[in-house]
A and B are shown apart, each in its own frame.
Chain A
Amino acid sequence: MTAVISLNHVAMVFPALQGLGSVKALEDVNFEFRENEFVVALGASGCGKTTLLNVIAGFLPPTSGQVLHKGDPISGPGRDRGVVFQKHALLPWLNVIQNTEFGLKLQGVASAERRIRARENLALVGLSDFENYPIYQLSGGMQQRVGLARALTCDPDMLLMDEPLGALDAFTRENMQELILDVWQKTRKVVFFITHSVEEALFMATRLVVMSPRPGRITHEYKLDFYNQYFESGNARQVKSSAEFIAMREEILSIIYGEERSGLEP
């Protein structure tokens, strides 16, 4: 399988602030995102998850190392890598459909065509009936769905999602996990998804990456197929309450807590 994005020895060092030493946010990260992968990054705060996402998105140039998109080094943000943010980052002066088609408007696509493509993606996230709503009248979950539809409308190779469900309540969050998996199954984009929730990570990932702080790096990697069980059974609760899932959850939790504790020792 070909790599859509590959990271070669990526390191990121933030310069020292007054009196404090410089921060190694990422150290020697090597990773490949392949076709059809749903990669989830999990780790305690400060482990460099968001830094890694920002490097891939092109918002942060790495201190050393390279990020390649299909073999070519990336030099900044681009529409081949769509981003869904924790705060929705929608534009409040545009309504739902205008937000969704915004990327195509930037690219100069004719309005009739961008309407059609925006509508397809709104249907995909289940918001067809809300086309003309102002975004500030939508709930948090719906705003995130618009954010997802907006990113999809640019038809990127890869979706970068920075804790997109972090601000949602527990029920909405579980529904959104299923919705995102369904959308992924239909579109087959490469996804890089960041979360704090172990359960969310296990449920959604085809590949799980556990990261560890000081310096930020990838410490564990798992290939998972709980998402497949969900696609087969259609029952997320059943997947999440299976013995296999719980055992895996405890394993990951012990890794993360173990690192937290060892990090506190002098």
Chain B
Amino acid sequence: MNLGIFSRRKSEVVDQYGAPGRGRSTAISAVTIVIILGGWWLATQLELIRPLFLPAPEMVISKFNRIACTDYYFEQLLVLIGASAAVTSECQGFSEHALHEHVLWSLYRVFGSFFLAVITAVPIGIAMGMSRYARGVFDPPIEFYRPIPPLAYLPLTIIWFGIGESGKLFLIYLACFAPIAINARAGVRSVSIEQIHAAYSMGATSQQVIRQVVIKAALPEILTGMRVAIAFGWTTLVAAEMVAAKAGIGVMVLNAARFLATDIVFLGIVVIGAVAFIFDLIMRRIERALVPWKGKV
């Protein structure tokens, strides 16, 4: 029997005989996703598992509609275009905020910290790659704190920064900082000594070598570091929002768990997953646009 989608179709790159993992896997992944979603739906339809443990997909969707206030905003849209006179439904949201407010707060925290991490960790990582002094100074603290789970130093950030936004930003910042710095440092090593020598023999100054050769050569690895960092940022988000946050997806999930509202917990998880996934797709696009030579030299 030959199932079409499982047949080993030729990928764009010419397949070498015996090359590990050759062929495309997209269709197989699609089937996996369908099976997981179908299994979820079936298990809840047949009431094999209680909704407390596994809410039905339609429950999650209806929670999405309620928290995102889809009816409310749809009616507002109708009023706006003059198709309706007044908004009749209310925006309930969850924890006093609609879904988009939770999402925006979380985006602000994750990307704010991420941005601060990028503008500090890239120069420090490059400096660590270029100079033994910078490496000597920054290596011990980074290697020391890097493996510590953020939850362990969460209390410290509260003691230091209080329960405002800065502590939350700092926690996520730390999570993003290490992978970017370490990758930028490793990226410096991907510049070949011939490229540096070539620049010097064309009259480059050491500043020019750093700016026009080393940083450019390190760019693929810096971008990899950014991808890893943003994933760490999402991982740390829920921890950061555990203390005294009013809005945020992490807040939503934690509050929902307190009321055993499993469907909202599911919704939060799906939203975090979706946002993180979309950002990763964007990053891959950026990577292809900025470093088209990656893996080709």
Contacts and interface: CB of A to CB of B under 8 A. Distances in A.
A154 interface: yes
A263 interface: no
B195 A91 contact: yes
A74 to B, nearest CB: 11
A76 interface: yes
Interface stretch (A65-73, A82-90, A166-174, A226-234): A82-90
B292 A77 contact: no
Contact of B194 (A87, A134, A136, A151): A87
Contact of B198 (A58, A85, A92): A85
Interface string A32-73: 000000000000000000000000011100000000000000
B203 A85 contact: no
Contact of B293 (A76, A89, A134): A134
A213 interface: no
A106 B192 contact: no
Given A92-B297, A134-B292, A136-B296, A82 B195 contact: no
Nearest to A85: B194
A167 B203 CA distance: 27
A82 B201 contact: yes
B219 interface: yes
B192 A103 contact: no
B296 A106 contact: no
A73 B1 CA distance: 78
A57 B201 contact: yes
Contacts of B201: 57-58, 77-79, 81-83, 151, 160
A102 interface: yes
Contacts of A89: 192, 194-195, 197-198
A83 B197 contact: yes
B291 A106 contact: no
Nearest to A81: B201
Interface string B39-69: 0000000000000000000000000000000
A91 B216 contact: yes
Instruction: Give the interface centre of B201, B216, B217, B297 by most chain A CB atoms within 10 Å.
Output: B201
Which size class do A's interface residues fall under? 20 to 34
Instruction: Summarize B's interface: helix, strand, loop or mixed.
Output: helix
Nearest to A79: B203
B200 A76 contact: yes
A93 B192 contact: no
Contact of A106 (B204, B216, B217, B292): B204
A154 B200 CA distance: 12
Interface in B248-287: none
B166 interface: no
A83 B195 CA distance: 11
Interface string B197-235: 111111111001000110011010000000000000000
Contacts of B293: 92-93, 134, 136
18 contacts: A57-B197, A77-B201, A79-B201, A83-B197, A89-B195, A89-B197, A90-B195, A92-B293, A92-B296, A93-B219, A103-B202, A105-B212, A106-B204, A106-B205, A107-B202, A136-B293, A150-B202, A151-B201
Q: Which 7 pairs across A and B sit closest by C-beta, in order of nearness?
A: A103-B202, A89-B194, A79-B203, A92-B293, A77-B200, A136-B296, A83-B201
Given A58-B200, A76-B200, 14 more contacts: A59-B197, A77-B197, A83-B198, A85-B194, A85-B198, A89-B195, A91-B195, A93-B219, A102-B199, A106-B199, A106-B203, A106-B205, A134-B292, A154-B203
